[in-house]
Amino acid sequence: MTNFEYKEMLDFSEYDILEDLQEDAWGMPARELVPKRLIYATLKSGGVVIGAYKNNEIIGYCWGWVGNKDPYGLFIYSHHNAVRQEYQNQGIGLQLKLAQRDWALKHNYHLINWTFDPLQSKNCYLNLHKLGVECSTYKRNYWGEMVDILNKGIDTDRFYSNWYIRSKHVEKRIQGKIENFSELLLESNCKVFETQITNNKITVKKTHLEINSQFVFIEIPSNFNELMKEDKESLIQWRKETRTAFETYFNKGYKAIDFVVEKETEIIRCFHILKKEENGN
């Protein structure tokens, strides 16, 4: 974006702002904050911290460090992608991730991993649809109990996702070459959930765990943050329903490869797109 600059944060004197950014972006309480010195230590150990600047003010940052484990080998684990609330929904998070990718390509990495909540529609759209991450690993209550406003009172289930930054799939997504799943969505036999809408609220009526098509669609609510404030029990039920669905289909060889948002009258419908490769991978 023309109004913002994205560059590595190499000077420790700039790091004072990072804890404040965590509080502002996520409503993170003091006990959950990652200390600035720890973030700087990972930078000095080969990691990467990229800031989003507006008029020399840091209004967001993306942070990752070097990982090394089977079956991935060396990769970057990307832990934070934070933007001040007043600047959210302006594409800054996307640009921070793309800047992180540029850094990783320059340093000869092939893979960046991170976790995200499969019920957070905006994150799902960014990660799966715009960036082209893939996921076939579901982690139950991955971060344990958290007390920030986005997680308090609900299990912290997560996708552990893979961003193969040199792949054709990622290149196409970044260039905006997106496959259209709208027609497939009309085929009800591909949808894992039969849902009903009452008073603009979507609930699951029935779950289909026996589908054997190339693609399956797993619906989630579009309004996670609203439900956290007004109807947490509904969100907890969605967590249970989707946990079973994702685990079942991942175990069958499917992986999440896209995320679709459809507007139906006054309701926004959101679907994870899962694909089963012909060879089972």
Is residue 80 within 8 Å of residue 63, measured between CB atoms? yes
Beta bridge partners of 203: 196
Q: Is the pLDDT of residue 281 over 50?
A: no
Q: Are residues 21 and 128 in the same domain?
A: yes
Q: Are residues 21 and 101 in the same domain?
A: yes
Q: Helix (H, G, I), strand (E, B), or coil: what is residue 198?
A: strand
Q: Is the pLDDT of residue 264 over 90?
A: no
Q: Are residues 238 and 150 in the same domain?
A: no
Q: Is the pLDDT of residue 142 over 70?
A: yes
Q: Are residues 162 and 192 in the same domain?
A: no
Distance CA(63)–CA(177), nearest Å, equals 27
Q: Are residues 107 and 148 in the same domain?
A: yes
Q: Are residues 193 and 143 in the same domain?
A: no
Q: Does residue 197 lie in a domain region?
A: yes
> How much is the average pLDDT of 222-240?
92
- For residue 162, the domain's CATH number is 3.40.630.30
Q: Are residues 155 and 17 in the same domain?
A: yes
Q: Does residue 259 lie in a domain region?
A: yes
Of the three residues 119, 146, 174, the one that is the final residue of a domain is 174
Residue 169: which of 207, 196, 219, 131 has the closest Cα?
131
Q: Does residue 84 lie in a domain region?
A: yes
Q: Does residue 37 lie in a domain region?
A: yes
Residue 2 confidence class, pLDDT cut points 50, 70, 90: low
Residue 20 has, within 13 A of its CA and on its CB side, a CA count of: 7
Q: Does residue 47 lie in a domain region?
A: yes
> How much is the average pLDDT of 109-128?
97
Residue 165: which of 94, 113, 95, 91 has the closest Cα?
113
Beta bridge partners of 276: 254
Q: Residue 279: what pLDDT?
A: 60
pLDDT tens per residue across span 85-114: 999 999 999 999 999 999 999 999 999 999
* Among the ranges given (12-16, 212-216, 239-243), the one the predictor scored with the smallest mean pLDDT: 212-216
Q: Are residues 165 and 195 in the same domain?
A: no
Q: Is the pLDDT of residue 72 over 90?
A: yes
Q: Does residue 49 lie in a domain region?
A: yes
Query: Structural domain of residue 212, as residue ranges?
Result: 182-276
Question: What is each CA distance from 20 to 26, 55, 85, 91, 184, in whole angstroms?
Answer: 10, 18, 12, 21, 44
Between the two ends of the chain, the Cα-to-Cα distance in Å is 37
Q: Does residue 281 lie in a domain region?
A: no
Of the three residues 174, 195, 227, the one that is the final residue of a domain is 174
Alpha helices in the chain (DSSP H): 16-26, 36-44, 92-106, 121-124, 168-174, 182-185, 224-230, 232-251
Of the three residues 117, 142, 174, the one that is the final residue of a domain is 174
pLDDT tens per residue across span 198-221: 888 899 999 999 999 999 999 999
Q: Are residues 158 and 241 in the same domain?
A: no
Q: Does residue 31 lie in a domain region?
A: yes
Q: Are residues 212 and 230 in the same domain?
A: yes
Q: Helix 36-44 to helix 16-26 angle, to the nearest 10 degrees?
A: 120
Q: Are residues 95 and 145 in the same domain?
A: yes
Q: Are residues 142 and 46 in the same domain?
A: yes
Q: In total, how many domains does the chain have?
A: 2
Amino acid at 97: K
